[in-house]
């Protein structure tokens, strides 16, 4: 069925002029861009977004990184969107990302890994609402 996922282009990829390249890969993958917004998160907002990771050792660095510069948030629509988008972005650690994936091409490290993708339909809804409100 057609459904939605949520993505962010992370600060390193925005800083390195890869918004266009990444959106091109997303559109070439047959995702429709339903909502799109460039925004800079405060540390407080980034902390809220990643609250599920609050107990992880990388949380403080992640919050600092995700509030270090502008990001691009988007809601994407496609058949089987969550799973297909995770395939398109590749593994969290770019060292393990497959050829042809967004992270293989653009990620620099496990933290600065170019893009976020929701891990479930439920989180896609929550994360999309975090930026765009209920649609």
Sheet-wide strand order for 32-39: 32-39, 71-79, 2-9, 115-117
Which token pair is 117? 């993708």
Report how many residues bind ligand CMP under the rule CB under 6 A: 8
The residue count of the chain comes to: 135
Selected binder of ligand CMP within 22, 62, 63, 97 (CB under 6 A): 62
DSSP 3-state of 9: strand
Q: Using the rule CB under 6 A, is 110 a contact of ligand CMP?
A: yes
Binding segment for ligand CMP (CB under 6 A), chosen from 28-36, 67-75, 106-114, 122-130, is 106-114
What are the residue ranges of helices labelled H in 1-135? 11-15, 19-28, 43-49, 59-66, 81-89, 102-106, 121-132
Selected binder of ligand CMP within 35, 77, 84, 111 (CB under 6 A): 111
Selected binder of ligand CMP within 40, 68, 87, 92 (CB under 6 A): 92
Which token pair is 51? 């609250």
Question: What's the closest the beta carbon of residue 126 comes to ligand CMP, in angstroms?
Answer: 14
What is the contact surface with ligand CMP in residues (CB under 6 A)? 53, 58, 62, 92, 110-111, 113, 116
């Amino acid at each position: 069925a057609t459904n939605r996922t949520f993505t962010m282009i992370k600060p390193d990829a925005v800083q390195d002029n890869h918004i266009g390249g990444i959106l091109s890969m997303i559109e070439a993958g047959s995702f429709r861009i339903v909502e799109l917004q460039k925004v800079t998160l405060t540390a407080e907002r980034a902390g809220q977004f990643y609250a599920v990771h609050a107990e992880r050792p990388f949380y403080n660095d992640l919050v600092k990184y995700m509030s270090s510069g502008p990001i691009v948030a988007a809601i994407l629509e496609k058949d089987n969107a969550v799973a297909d988008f995770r395939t398109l972005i590749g593994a969290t650690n770019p060292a393990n990302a497959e050829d042809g994936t967004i992270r293989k091409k653009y990620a620099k490290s496990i933290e600065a890994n170019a893009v976020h993708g929701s891990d479930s339909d439920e989180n896609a809804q929550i994360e999309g609402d975090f930026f765009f409100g209920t649609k």
